[in-house]
Amino acid sequence: MKLPSASVAGRDFTASIVVFLVAMPLCMGIAIASGVPPEKGLITGIIGGIVVGALAGSPLQVSGPAAGLAVIVYELVRDQGLSALGPILILAGAIQVVSGIFRLGGWFRAISPAVVHGMLAGIGVLIVVGQFHVMFDATPLPSGLENLMAMPGRLLGLSPDIAAAELAIIVALVTIGVMLGWEKFRPKSLRLVPGALLGVVAATLVALLLGLDVAKVTVPENIAGAIDLPGADFANRFLDPAVIGAALAIAFIASAETLLSAAAVDRMHDGVRTNYNKELRAQGIGNLLCGFAGALPMTGVIVRSSANVQAGATTRLSTILHGVWILGMVAALPFVLREIPMAALGAVLVVTGWRLVNLTHATHLFKYYGILPALIWGVTLVLVVAEDLLTGVLVGIALSLLELIPNLRNLRLKVNREEDGLHQTVRLTGGATFLSLPKLSDILDAVPSGAPVRLDVAGLRSVDHTCAELLKDWLARRRAAGGEVDVFGASGKTAALAH
């Protein structure tokens, strides 16, 4: 790895501290939401920072435990036990490494945005209704629907006599109040200070100074004691169909979330673009290590990654250092972590989950692409909540195949790139569907960043919303970087590209 200059290293150093402050409460909160001890999330954050940060194909993306996998991990631990998580992650990581070696990274980006955003919205609902009970120092129920049905009773069960539940909800409300208040009224000079951290600090001080009898985080004296190496019979687990199915599900969902997050991070900066297959291999190695350590699965995480970019990071050094800071905190100051109320972390996750339920995605899909993508979003969300994560995603993908029906005679996309002096001409003919997205993405990303571009879409007979979103994002990124892009022949679903 090439060493950065002193000025670049300075920016990465300060950015790493910001990311560390964002990551600490989320690592612990997501672990608790997953039904495992908080140190499991911290180990994943350390591996995601130090190891995956050094190997990643997306230098500015930050990896660690993700809210998107909390629900599926909770169900796995509940049904198969914590000991099954290691073999599942080892197999899932191996699948990701092999997928990266065989250059399958682009195909994960071909998943319909309606499915991905519907999945994230469903996960958000499940996190909110589950962590709602943690804010009362209670244990979440086994399913999302049970948690949802129990919410009114939890509120009505409060009494004027201040007891454990009442103290816990006060701590949670302090956390949420400080988080939201800070994010609304913070001065511009302190915009990088994360609201989640201040909320947790405020709640911890309230509980400590007032001597409140609420449940606190438990972490071991020695982080090495939190590492659970695979048992002697772990190889036999690979023959269990439930383990194989869970590994495939985690590999698929983690890869899709990681690569879509990497694409979003690319839109935030003008630096090195993501190498998707390299990123997939790095994530696989990270999940292999998490499996051997008995930790949580990891993905690239958009909240921490966006904080990294906004804090001024320019190289992977920031990501690596944030992992070092987590390790240092856990190794040197575990007694500080043990003062954090569980209700405070539950409150952070409630806010995080609520923000995943973004209705703007559904209205955007309906406005620009019609009823079918919006319906896919809604069905995916409902099934994730009512059934399980994998069912929702698979049904969503199956419904997205319906978009191919009107285009069965125009499934083939021809992409020609020509160089005429200083100009680059990209000509699209045929049908642009998610089946052709990897090919289209590779050619567009290969266009030199400084060259003026002519995008000719006159021969494009059809385009689905997955490819339309890819084209819009690519054009927006080129134009934001000051590049000259002229679009010819735009009409119908491609009309918006001309503006």
CA–CA distance, 357 with 449 (Å, rounded to integer)? 35
CA–CA distance, 243 with 88 (Å, rounded to integer)? 6
In this predicted structure, what is the pLDDT of residue 160?
A: 67
User: Do 396 and 300 share a domain, yes or no?
Assistant: no
DSSP 292-336: HHT----EEEHHHHHHHHHTT--STHHHHHHHHHHHHHHHH-HHH
Which token pair is 48?
A: 């995601």
Long-range contacts of 365-368 (CB under 8 A, 24+ apart): 365/113, 365/114, 365/465, 368/465, 368/468, 368/493, 368/496
Domain boundary among 374, 390, 407: 407
| pLDDT tens digits, 85-117 | 999 999 999 999 999 999 888 887 788 888 888
| pLDDT tens digits, 256-279 | 889 878 877 887 777 788 899 999
Q: Which residue has the tokens 């070092």?
A: 324
In this predicted structure, what is the pLDDT of residue 2?
A: 60
Residue 476's domain is classified under what CATH number?
3.30.750.24
User: Do 170 and 219 share a domain, yes or no?
Assistant: yes
Domain boundary among 342, 368, 395: 342
Domain that holds residue 40: 6-342
User: Do 272 and 392 share a domain, yes or no?
Assistant: no
Our count of domains for the chain comes to 3
In contact, 280 and 57? CB cutoff 8 Å: yes
User: Do 306 and 401 share a domain, yes or no?
Assistant: no
User: Do 383 and 444 share a domain, yes or no?
Assistant: no
User: Do 126 and 20 share a domain, yes or no?
Assistant: yes
CA–CA distance, 183 with 109 (Å, rounded to integer)? 32
User: Do 186 and 303 share a domain, yes or no?
Assistant: yes
In the chain, the amino acid numbered 201 is V
Asked whether residue 420 is assigned to any structural domain, the reply reads yes
CA–CA distance, 247 with 239 (Å, rounded to integer)? 12
Q: What does DSSP assign to residue 188?
A: G
In this predicted structure, what is the pLDDT of residue 5?
A: 67
Stated pTM of the model: 0.82
In this predicted structure, what is the pLDDT of residue 22?
A: 85
Strands (E), 436-484: 453-463
In this predicted structure, what is the pLDDT of residue 247?
A: 94
Of 88, 39, 91, 90, nearest to 65 by C-alpha is: 39
Asked whether residue 349 is assigned to any structural domain, the reply reads no
User: Do 137 and 219 share a domain, yes or no?
Assistant: yes
In this predicted structure, what is the pLDDT of residue 298?
A: 95
User: Do 401 and 422 share a domain, yes or no?
Assistant: no
DSSP 123-155: HHHHHHHHHHHHTTT-PPPSSHHHHHHHHHHHH
CA–CA distance, 137 with 143 (Å, rounded to integer)? 18
DSSP 86-112: HHHHHHHHHHHHHHHHTT-HHHHTTS-
Asked whether residue 279 is assigned to any structural domain, the reply reads yes
In this predicted structure, what is the pLDDT of residue 161?
A: 61
User: Do 265 and 212 share a domain, yes or no?
Assistant: yes
Phi, psi of 14 (to 5 degrees): -65, -40
* Residues ≥6 apart with Cβ < 8 Å to 112: 373, 376, 396, 397, 400, 403, 434, 465, 466
Bridge partners (DSSP) listed for residue 431: 462
In this predicted structure, what is the pLDDT of residue 497?
A: 64
CA–CA distance, 441 with 371 (Å, rounded to integer)? 26
Query: What distance lies between CA 450 and its chain's CA centroid?
Result: 31
User: Do 85 and 221 share a domain, yes or no?
Assistant: yes
Number of helices followed by number of strands (H, E) in the chain? 22, 6
Q: Cβ atoms within 10 A of the Cβ of 99, count?
A: 21
One digit per residue, the tens of pLDDT, for the chain of length 499 reads 566 666 677 888 988 988 998 888 889 989 988 989 999 999 999 999 999 999 999 999 999 998 778 888 998 998 888 888 999 999 999 999 999 999 888 887 788 888 888 888 888 898 899 889 989 988 888 788 888 899 998 888 776 666 778 899 999 999 999 999 998 998 888 887 888 889 999 999 999 999 998 999 888 878 787 888 887 777 788 888 989 999 999 998 899 889 878 877 887 777 788 899 999 999 999 999 999 999 999 999 887 888 888 888 899 999 999 999 999 998 888 888 889 999 998 898 898 888 888 888 899 899 888 899 999 999 999 998 888 777 888 899 999 988 888 777 777 889 988 887 778 899 999 888 888 888 888 888 888 877 889 999 888 888 888 888 888 888 887 887 777 888 887 776 666 665 5
User: Do 223 and 261 share a domain, yes or no?
Assistant: yes
In contact, 487 and 479? CB cutoff 8 Å: no
